[in-house]
Amino acid sequence: METTNTTTPAMTSKDLVTDQEIRWCPGCGDYSILKQVQTVVPELGIPREDIVFISGIGCSSRFPYYMETFGMHSIHGRASAIASGLKATRPELSVWIVSGDGDSLSIGGNHFIHLLRRNFNVNLLLFNNEIYGLTKGQYSPTSEEGKITKSTPMGSIDHPFNPIALALGAEGSFIARSMDRDPVHLKDMLRRSNAHIGTSLLEIYQNCNVFNDGTFELFTEKSSKKEETIFLENNKPLVFGQNLDKGIMLDGFKPIIVSLENGKYSVNDLWVHDESDLTKAGILSRFFERPVDGTGHLPRPFGVFYENNRACYETGLNDQIEFAKQKKGEGSLDALLKGGETWEIK
């Protein structure tokens, strides 16, 4: 979502720090996300008092306590619903939802999909650590099959959600992915999320170093990152690899990895990313295999999968109010009390 206003003196990231002691475990990925948010928000030109962070419950949901803006730490899974009511009635505010994978995809799954469908102009930061952090390490709806946790000593038999595909299916109008360990990319995605008018879903891979350490290592560690990830940029070909030596082509609807080194294919043959293409976003969302033996699988995409500008719920709601006022005139309480038929008793 985008809101700009440049009348107040420039805010710095320091102005967004609260006096509350941060309670995340040392080394938790949440710290990096907080830092990037505190860096980006002052650039947006929004007065601090017009910013609201709303969260559910979970480690990630402690976030509002650490942001010197208006904030609410609500109940498990319901931040999106609360944000919807706030945005419906206060469309001028910059509303940010902070939520975990359990919070948004398990207990709050219903609100998550309906928020995306309605397209309120808010930003949803989905901290995905593929685990329940706060409750000390049970598997979550994004944990992989077979995952051994306290609640799944023999391995999880739940098939996980693919959050990006889910968001696309829920008619999301802005769908992006980033990671805690790539501050530059994360900041960029935060700016893009803010700029989008409509619900911006930003899935952030976040390391829980206590209960699920290293889940995203393949994507975040220097040693494997280049081979295992692909960074999407609009109108740019899909190139990745240690030396940018690989690309993705589409064979019909089937994505294939090609080498750019053997002279057979060049960058010009590759799939060019188009953020407005829903079909291709769908294919990209399915770059989701778990790298088993490290060969042959598609790299994990990061960046904006899809963006589409369509009407926001609150705009429609306020337009209807204005229209009703124009058509019927500002409501008169006396006329309402009186209703249609009346009679007098003397």
Partner 1 sequence: MTSNNQVLEKVIIKFAGDSGDGMQLTGTQFTNTAAMFGNDLSTFPDFPAEIRAPQGTIPGVSGFQLHFGSVNIFSPGDFCDVLVAMNAAALKANLANLKKGGTVIVNSDGFDPKNLRLANYFDNVSPLTDGSLEAYRIISIDVTKITKAALADSGLGTKEIDRAKNMFVLGFLYWMYNREMSFTIKFLEDKFSKKPEILAANIKVLHAGYNFGETSETAPTRFTINPAPMPSGIYRNIMGNQATAIGLIAASKKSGLDLFLGSYPITPASDILHELARHKNFGVKTFQAEDEIAAICSAIGASFGGKLGITTSSGPGIALKTEAMGLALMLELPLLIINVQRGGPSTGLPTKTEQSDLFQAVYGRNGEAPIPVIAAKSAADCFETVYEACRIALEYMTPVIFLSDGYIANGSEPWRFPNADQLKPIKVEFTTELNSEKFLPYKRNENLSRPWAIPGTKGLEHRIGGLEKQHETGNISYDPENHEFMVKMRAAKVEKVADSIPDQTIDNGTEKGKILVLGWGSTYGAIKGAVIEARAKGIDVSHAHIRHIVPFPKNLGDLLKNYETVLIPEMNTGQLKSIIRDKFLVPAIGLNKIKGMPFATSEILVKIEELV
Ligand X SMILES: Cc1ncc(C[n+]2csc(CCOP(=O)(O)OP(=O)(O)O)c2C)c(N)n1
Question: Residue-wise over 37-52: b if at least 16 C-beta within 10 A, else e?
Answer: bbbbbbebebebebbb
Largest CA distance in the chain: 100
- Candidates 154, 184, 292, 336; binder of partner 1 (CB under 8 A) is 336
* Residue 163 beta carbon to partner 1: minimum distance, rounded to whole angstroms: 18
- Residue pair 230/247 in contact by the 8 Å Cβ criterion: no
Residue 129 lies near ligand SF4 (rule: CB under 6 A): yes
Measured between alpha carbons, how far is 257 from 237 in angstroms, rounded to an integer? 12
Check: CB of residue 93 under 8 Å from CB of residue 51: yes
The answer to whether 328 contacts partner 1 (rule: CB under 8 A) is yes
Q: Is residue 17 near partner 1 by the rule CB under 8 A?
A: no
Q: Identify which of residues 150 and 328 has a Cβ nearer to partner 1 in the complex.
A: 328
Q: How far is the CB of 324 from partner 1 (least distance, A)?
A: 4
Helix axes 109-118, 79-89, angle to 10 degrees: 30
What minimum distance in Å lies between the beta carbon of 10 and partner 1?
15
Write down the least CB distance from residue 246 to ligand X, Å: 33
Q: Per CB under 8 A, does 5 bind partner 1?
A: no
Q: Which stretch binds ligand X (CB under 6 A): 83-91, 94-102, 161-169, 185-193?
A: 94-102
Q: Which stretch binds partner 1 (CB under 8 A): 66-74, 161-169, 224-232, 269-277?
A: 66-74
134: helix, strand or coil: coil
- Give the residue with the Cβ less far from Mg ion, 71 or 108: 108
- Here's the x/- map for ligand SF4, 153-192, by CB under 6 A: it reads as ----------------------------------------
Q: Which of 67, 48, 183, 205 is nearest to 126 (CA)?
A: 205
| Structure-block tokens of residue 141 | 């709806």
State the DSSP code for 161: P
DSSP label of 13: G
Q: Which is nearer to ligand X, 72 or 283 (CB)?
A: 72
Question: x/- binding map, residues 15-34, to ligand SF4, per CB under 6 A?
Answer: ---------xx--x-x----
Size of the site for partner 1 (CB under 8 A): 62
Per rule CB under 6 A, is residue 313 in the interface with ligand X? Answer: no
* Contact yes or no for 215/148 (Cβ under 8 A): no
Q: What is the rounded distance in angstroms from the CA atom of residue 224 to the CA atom of residue 174?
A: 28
Q: Which of 53, 63, 112, 127 lies at the binding interface for ligand X (CB under 6 A)?
A: 127
209 touches ligand SF4 by CB under 6 A: yes
Q: Give start and end residues of each alpha helix (H) in 103-231.
A: 109-118, 163-169, 183-195, 217-220, 222-228
Does 166 contact partner 1 by CB under 8 A? no
Q: What are phi and psi of 119, to 5 degrees?
A: 65, 45
CB of residue 150 to ligand SF4, shortest distance in Å: 13
Taking the mean position of all CA atoms in its chain, how far away is CA 162?
Answer: 13
Contacts with ligand X by CB under 6 A lie at 57-60, 76, 100-103, 127, 129, 131-135, 140
Contacts with ligand SF4 by CB under 6 A lie at 24-25, 28, 30, 59, 129, 133, 208-211
